[in-house]
Amino acid sequence: MGEAQTTTGRGQLRSTRPPAPKLRPRVVAGLVGMIAVLGIASALVVTGDESAPPPPTAPALTNRQIPVGLWDVANTPIRDGDDLFAIRFVLDEPTPVYRFISGFNLEGVYTDETGAPAPELIRTSVEDKREDDDEANPPPPEDLPPGWTTGDGRPGYAHGDGGIIRARLVTIDPDGTPDLGNVLAEERINAVQRYRETQEAFGVGGDTQLLYFTLDSAELEAGRPYAVVYSNAAEDPLQDFFSINSPVTRESVAGPNAQNSLDPQTPGAIAGLDPREAVTWSTDGGDEWLWGWRVGEGDLYGNYTASRTDDAGPPLPWYGWQESPDAPPASNQPYYAYGEDGSFTLVASDVPHDTTLTEAGGYAPLGSDVGVVTVRNVTTGETGSTGPLGEGLVWGSLDNPVRVRVGDTYEISNTGTVALAKADDFIRKTFHVGEGDWPFTTEDNGADRAELFALPHPWFIPS
């Protein structure tokens, strides 16, 4: 397997472990028994057990628990026609899905679908990628147009004309795997063509690492798992390929979102996800499906190799949708992350529900601790703090519960180190992060979201 490929990770992991916290925090894995389950199920291979019960359905919003849990973004090239990358997702309300949105990286392409030079921002910056003694890279296309020049795109994420992205919306089999025999909607599109169309549709003037796929306004039920399955339908996927982007986190943090969990009541869901939402991967056209840290593995150059110990671990679902051509794009978790961390103050504006905040915490990367977390109602001045919190995804009780009412603003700050979820320009312009449904900002970091939280999370309380 090759080394793990990630987008611009800029953080640096610390090599020293902090002292044990004085206050024993709650940890996302929860019960000891659940920890044992995670150690087994996150590497689960599913082969199609027809005796399994059907996936349960339930209102999803009440199953979303912790709103943070991202560390970096992994890159998974699709260079084989039998490679399938599937995002299993759950919507909270009955929803017509006109477009499905998810993460891609097309840097490294040469041309578009017509053979003309690809846009400069994604056109490879190196004409022959084998020049750096890396013979595993494919050769440049033989028929580059006259006057072709290199661009600004990093060379390792895509190649040729980007390939043909095949996106299939499918139902879920009783064992939790995508039912490739029940396709609700499908689209095939050249990657570079869809890159341009996505820029225009969402007003993204610069580079974008998200693409949309038209699903014919498929009517999806509330609280029911579905999957969008991606593959490369190019004639020569080794020469013409794209990459899929997914946020990643530590295996011990990911909980049910790094395994094939079909129970909506499974504790420990992170990043605003339903416990049943997960990513799965097949290298044999769907005969076997891999979960958790095994997603993206393979023998081709660029295949993602997740860590089982540090924060660059299992991929997580990252997606959005549009109900109609005129509807604003929506997402249950729009942020990326690039390995950045620090001490922050998160500002949560315009509280949607009266809530008494009783706990608070954050996500500290390996070798760091969250420290003391303080919650302050900016409107009333009421304040509460936890004791010192340690490493990983942890939280503890506030010494003074903090009451927030509809329309209030509250702040969460920490004395130690937590990860920083990022709102890139293409994310801000598409999902309007930092305002509207996502009124979270971080002091000195704009619409980025410090990975701090208070519970109960006011945005996860049903109306």
Q: What is the pLDDT of residues 190-219, one digit of tens each?
A: 999 999 999 999 999 778 999 999 998 899
Burial of 134 (0-12, 13-18, 19+ CB in 10 A): exposed
pLDDT (mean) for 48-73: 65
- Report residue 236's pLDDT band, with 50, 70 and 90 as the boundaries: very high
The answer on pLDDT for 310 being more than 50 is yes
**Looking at residue 123, what DSSP letter applies?**
B
Domains and their CATH numbers in the chain: 31-107+160-322 (no CATH), 340-460 (2.60.120)
- Measured CA to CA in angstroms, residue 215 lies from 135, 146, 185, 429 at distances of 39, 37, 5, 22
Lowest mean pLDDT among 123-127, 143-147, 297-301: 297-301
Which pLDDT does position 305 carry in this prediction? 86
| Secondary structure (3-state) at 289 | strand
Q: How far apart are CA 366 and CA 122, in angstroms?
A: 33
Kindly indicate the confidence band of residue 133, based on its pLDDT and cuts at 50, 70 and 90: low
Q: What is the pLDDT of residues 434-445, one digit of tens each?
A: 998 899 999 999
Q: Residues 381-415: pLDDT tens digits?
A: 999 999 999 999 999 999 999 999 999 999 999 99
**Per-residue pLDDT for 433 more than 90?**
yes
Indicate if the pLDDT at residue 306 is higher than 60: yes
pTM: 0.87
Q: pLDDT at residue 7 above 60?
A: no
Q: By mean pLDDT, which of 44-53, 172-181, 313-322, 417-426 is the weakest? A: 44-53
Top pLDDT among 312 and 51 is at 312
Arithmetic mean of pLDDT over the chain: 87
pLDDT at 185: 97
Tokens of 182: 């029940």
Judge contact between 66 and 363, C-beta under 8 A: no
**47-56, 251-260, 289-298, 405-414: segment of lowest average pLDDT:** 47-56
- pLDDT of 134 reads 65
Residue 17 scores a pLDDT above 80: no
Q: Which residue has the higher pLDDT, 130 or 164?
A: 164
DSSP 443-460: TTTBT-EESEEEES-GGG
Judging by beta carbons within 10 Å of its beta carbon (0-12, 13-18, 19+), is residue 362 exposed, middle or buried? buried
- Asked if pLDDT for residue 312 goes beyond 50, the answer is yes
Q: Residue 272 pLDDT > 80, yes or no? A: yes
Q: Which is higher by pLDDT, 136 or 385?
A: 385
Percent of the chain past pLDDT 90, that is, above it, reads 79
pLDDT at 375 over 60: yes
Predicted confidence band at 156 (pLDDT cuts at 50, 70, 90)? Answer: confident
* pLDDT of the residue at 191: 98
